[in-house]
Every structure is written in C-alpha cells, then in structure tokens.
Structure 1
Amino acid sequence: MRVVGLCNPIVDFYLYDDKILLNGGGTVSNILVNLSSFGIKTSIIGYYGSDHLGSYAKESLELAHVDTTNLERKNFKTKIFFIDENGTTSACPFCGNKRKNYKAKTNIKEFIREDDLILIQDFYPMRDLPNKIIWDFGYSQGIIYMDKQELEALMFREYYMVNIKKSVLGTVLKKLDITFCEFKSSMDIEFLIITDGKNGSKIVYNRKEYDFKPQTFSEIETNGCGDIYFATFISEFIKKNRTDTLDIESIQNLAQKNVENVIS
C-alpha cells in the first residue's frame, strides 16, 4: 500500500531575520515527506517546472524518499509561496508578482495501483477513481463559486480520511444550510479531523467526537505543523490496517510531539 499524492510541487521562501531560506513546499508534498519519514511508502503524480526551482522541488522529494517516477517536467515557472512573521502569500514581497498554478495532470489512472490511497488538497480535480481518498481541505474560496448541488457532490462522496479547517467547514455548513450534526451523518468518511490552528482540533472517529487543545510552546511557527499533524494520523491509521480500534488520545499525543519537533 502506498500513499500517492496528486499535485504539482512548489517551493517555499522563508523570510526571517534578514535571511531567505529555501524549501520544497506544498501541503501534499509536505504530508508525503512526513509519511515517508514514518516508514510509509509514498509517491507523487504531477508536473514540475522547467526552471531551477522545479528541479529543486523534485530533488527535495527524492531526498525524502518520495517516489517521483511519475513527476513529468513541463515548461512552466514553479509556483512560489513567501512565508514571514505576517503569514503566507504567493505575491513576491519585492516585485508583487504572482506565479499561476499549472494545470493538474489528468492521465493518472495508469500510474495508480489498486490498493493505493490517493492524497489530494483543496479542489484538486477529482476523478472517478475506485481508490480511497485522503483529502486535506484548507481553502474555502472555491466554494463561493459552487452551487449547492456541486458542493454536496464534493462533500458527500466517499472518503478515507478528511482534514478540514474549522473556518472552511463553517463556510461549507453555511453554503449547504445544514448543522454540523447533519454534516457528520451525511459524509461517507472513516476519519474526520477539524483543525482550528492554535485553538486545537476536533476528531470524529467511530461516531465519537474528541476535542483537543494544543500544547503551549514558548515559540510557535505554525507553517508545516498541520501537515505533520495530519500525517501522523494517516500513518497510524495505515499501520493499524483499520483492523483495530485506534487509540485516538495516544495518537494525539504522538502528533503533538511531532508538531513540537517541527516548531522547536
């Protein structure tokens, strides 16, 4: 079993203390890298840019033992995000320019195995795949342009695991005009995480809800924390092979330790 991410790798520029740090980036890529470090087989399907940043993003994944066999080089400039103490933006702080997203790869079925788990982010074009889907949903802007029927089709299909931001969930509930209880009962999902940044998270598993408050750290840099948090649960879910009931509180403690390693 592999976790196969569908995305085009990007690059993050960290702007701190008058320094610029370069790192491979993107939620799907970050989750794959973390899963690989936990001993889970991972692969990525998509396109990488023909510029030096595209090569850097690809090599960053390879160094983390993510299979990049199905990353195809295309003639485009790699998407960049800039991260500083004020947050994350795709606009260059020096010239104000933004690089556009490149189209998603469409011919993916030939690269996917029957038991692969498919990892996607936000509104990645979902195909009619028989595989289980792991969905990280942290961006709500696209919801604005959907009618109710489109959003219902998106939310109420079968998923393996979903990680959704509380603010995004609020937008979904308002758009669908339903309560959280109605939302839970309508989703065909085995595991749901609702994250609220520094305010903690809610987990729904086996029809039971778990509320967790975050630990307090002296210094917090939140970028990447959500990715390793979700990756911890994905890893433990896979390792248990869904045959045993998960000890959610134990996995939460492990996830918090992994988050602490990222921000310390």
Structure 2
Amino acid sequence: MDSILCVGEMLIDFIEDKTSEEKRFILNPGGAPANVAQVIGALGGIAFILGSVGKDAFGDEIEKTLIKNKVFTEYLVKVETPTTISFVTIDDSGERDFIFYRGADRDLNLSQVGISELKKFDIVHFGSATAFLDGELNNSYHRLLELSFKENRFISFDPNYRSFFWSKDKDKFRKYAIPFIEKSDLVKFNEEELLIITQSESISEAINFLSKEYDATFAITLGKNGSIVFNKNYKINIEAEKVNVIDTTGAGDAYIGSFLYKISQFENKKMLLGDKDEIRRITYYSNNIAGKICTRYGALTALIDL
C-alpha cells in the first residue's frame, strides 16, 4: 500500500446544529484535503497532510483530530496567522452554505517543508477550496502540481468549488482548475462543479466534452443519485444506497478519500484506471462510504462507523 499526500486548506468548521431550537454551531475540524486524509487514515490507508494552521487552540484541535484519525502530520505547518474558520449552515435537505474567515491556510510555503521530502509520494491529492485564492498557498499548490507531474506521480484533483469565493468570478475559477485537470489522472467533481467548469447545460453534455478533451478518469458525485465514473473508454453509473441524510458536509471528501484508499493498494495505479470492472467495485465502495458520512452532523463524525 502506497502513501498519499493530501495538500490544501485546513480549518475549523462551525456547523449549524439543526437539533437545537436556538441558533448554535458545533465546532468541527475540517477542510477538504484534511477530510480526505482522515478518511484514508480511518480506513487503514497511509495519509499525510500538507498545509498550514495557526499557532492557536484551533490549530491544536486540528492537529489532534488528524492524529486521532491516523493521519501523519510531519508536514503540518504552524504559522503566526490565526487558523482559518468557516460557518456552515444546513437546509432541510442537508445541503450546505459556507461563510469563510480566512487565515493561516493561505501561508503554506513549500520551503517550510522541503521539495525533496515531497518527491517520495506516489499519490498526490489536491483539494482546492481555498488554494486558488490569493496567498502563498496558491503558488505552492501550482509548484507541487508541476513537481508531481514531472515525477510521474498519480495525481488526483477535486476543485471544491465554493460560491462564497467564486460566484462572481467563475471564469477565474475555471481558468485555475484547467491545468490541474490537464495533468491529473483522477478528477472528482460534484454536479455544480461539472457544469461550471465545462460550461455545459447538462451532465451528458459535460461528460461528452470531458471525455473528448482530456485523458483523465472523472468521478462525478450526484448525491442521492450515486455517481458516474468515466474516461475515453468507458462510463460507469452506480446508484447510491438509501440513507437517512442529516448533513452532507464531507460526503464528497469521503468519496474521493475512499477511492484513493482503494487505488493505493494497487501497484500500477494509472493502468488500474483502465480496468472498468475494478473501477466499478471501487466506485460502489466509495458511494457507500460517502453515504455513511451523511448520516451524522459534521464532516467526519461518522468515521467511527466505518
């Protein structure tokens, strides 16, 4: 089993408590790449996190939670800037809306870790909820992409679109995402991201476009409708098992985390993506893990049930 490096933001999510009659929020360590790493660790994989948090109680809480979920934190950088936080509100269907107060995640500099250290990973996953915003993280994110591509590593990418940041500048978001799609082996979208990035009117139109233009394998998560995985040679539809949805926060991260966990067990990962039958089994597994995450409040609260 090979190790997986997850790079991007770490933060504290304050998630709306829908069980309370009064308006209140529950503290949960989060950030898409951190969530992915924790799913991998909880499932028994080898996950490392690369990102920055503040030298404060929130940063300490993130580190403690990562370690509890068996994530290696050698490349967790602590800086003077306060840890990034977000507030997550949830509608009656379990869908989320985010408000961010950005801080330490922007300050990641690869020199704080060392380039030679990062060359040893066979799988590199980029989660970009804040990585395309201004800050040193943006530069580090692109430098690591070029390094990973040059070293022929298995590259995974999830754009993690947040309307709070990009609703008024979707073209800029799309521009940043394209180089990662071009260089990735595996790309995960939700339906909103799929239509924004491809500028398509329908899922089928977007799938046709991506399968013609890019060599990557794409995984499209569709909530209660399951997911679609496709590339130039095949398309797989897997239905989701029915669960009692409480909160969808972290479901997409659980999906791609479990997908990468399974991939890490194979020797030739790039060739594996061409094996339709094996990818079908992995997709079914990932759907089920994502569904379990939706049954509790908080991005990864349900990890204890995995």
What is the TM-score normalised by the length of structure 2? 0.73
Deviation at 1:134, TM superposition (A): 1.1
1:29–1:115 CA distance, 2 compared to 1 (3 A): closer
Cross-structure match for 2:78: 73
Deviation at 1:219, TM superposition (A): 3.4
- Asked whether the equivalents of residues 194 and 206 of structure 2 are also in contact (C-alpha less than 8 Å), the reply is no
Higher relative contact order (CA 8 A, sep 6+): 2
Which has a greater percent of strand? Answer: 1
2-structure distance, mates of 1:240, 1:89? 36
SS of the residue corresponding to residue 264 of structure 2 reads helix
Deviation at 1:37, TM superposition (A): 1.6
> Aligned-pair RMSD on alpha carbons?
2.7
What residue ranges of structure 2 are gaps of 5+ in the alignment?
Answer: 133-137, 296-306
Partner letter of residue 240 of structure 1?
A: F
- Asked whether the equivalents of residues 9 and 32 of structure 2 are also in contact (C-alpha less than 8 Å), the reply is no
Cross-structure match for 1:113: 119
Cross-structure match for 2:300: none
Partner letter of residue 107 of structure 2?
A: K
User: How does 1:154-169 map onto structure 2 within 5 Å?
Assistant: 154-156=180-182, 158-169=183-194
SS of the residue corresponding to residue 241 of structure 2 reads coil
Deviation at 1:57, TM superposition (A): 0.7
1-structure distance, mates of 2:71, 2:174? 37
SS of the residue corresponding to residue 223 of structure 1 reads coil
Deviation at 1:3, TM superposition (A): 0.7
Instruction: Confirm or deny that 1:126 pairs with 2:134.
Output: no
Cross-structure match for 2:298: none
- Asked whether the equivalents of residues 81 and 88 of structure 1 are also in contact (C-alpha less than 8 Å), the reply is no
Cα offsets for 1:86-136 (capped at 9, x unmatched) = 323225xxxxxx334523323252321334311111345322212332111
- Asked whether the equivalents of residues 238 and 284 of structure 2 are also in contact (C-alpha less than 8 Å), the reply is no
1:114–1:185 CA distance, 2 compared to 1 (3 A): farther
SS of the residue corresponding to residue 46 of structure 1 reads strand
1-structure distance, mates of 2:57, 2:285? 36
2-structure distance, mates of 1:146, 1:13? 25
Counterpart selection for 2:171 from 126, 130, 144: 144
What percentage of aligned pairs have identical amino acids? 19
What residue ranges of structure 1 are gaps of 5+ in the alignment?
Answer: 92-97
- Asked whether the equivalents of residues 137 and 165 of structure 1 are also in contact (C-alpha less than 8 Å), the reply is no
Counterpart selection for 1:204 from 217, 222, 230: 230
User: How does 1:50-65 map onto structure 2 within 5 Å?
Assistant: 50-65=55-70
2-structure distance, mates of 1:53, 1:144? 33
Q: Alignment length, in residue pairs?
A: 253
- Asked whether the equivalents of residues 11 and 24 of structure 1 are also in contact (C-alpha less than 8 Å), the reply is yes
Cross-structure match for 2:260: 234
Which sits farther off after the overlay, 227-236 or 11-20?
Answer: 11-20
Cross-structure match for 1:188: 215
Instruction: Confirm or deny that 1:135 pairs with 2:157.
Output: yes
Counterpart selection for 1:217 from 243, 250, 256: 243
1-structure distance, mates of 2:174, 2:245? 42
Partner letter of residue 89 of structure 2?
A: D
Cross-structure match for 2:284: 253
2-structure distance, mates of 1:147, 1:163? 14
Deviation at 1:146, TM superposition (A): 6.4
Cα offsets for 1:199-243 (capped at 9, x unmatched) = 332101572001233332233421111111112211112213336
2-structure distance, mates of 1:220, 1:49? 30
Which has a greater percent of helix? Answer: 2
- Asked whether the equivalents of residues 199 and 213 of structure 1 are also in contact (C-alpha less than 8 Å), the reply is yes
Partner letter of residue 88 of structure 1?
A: D
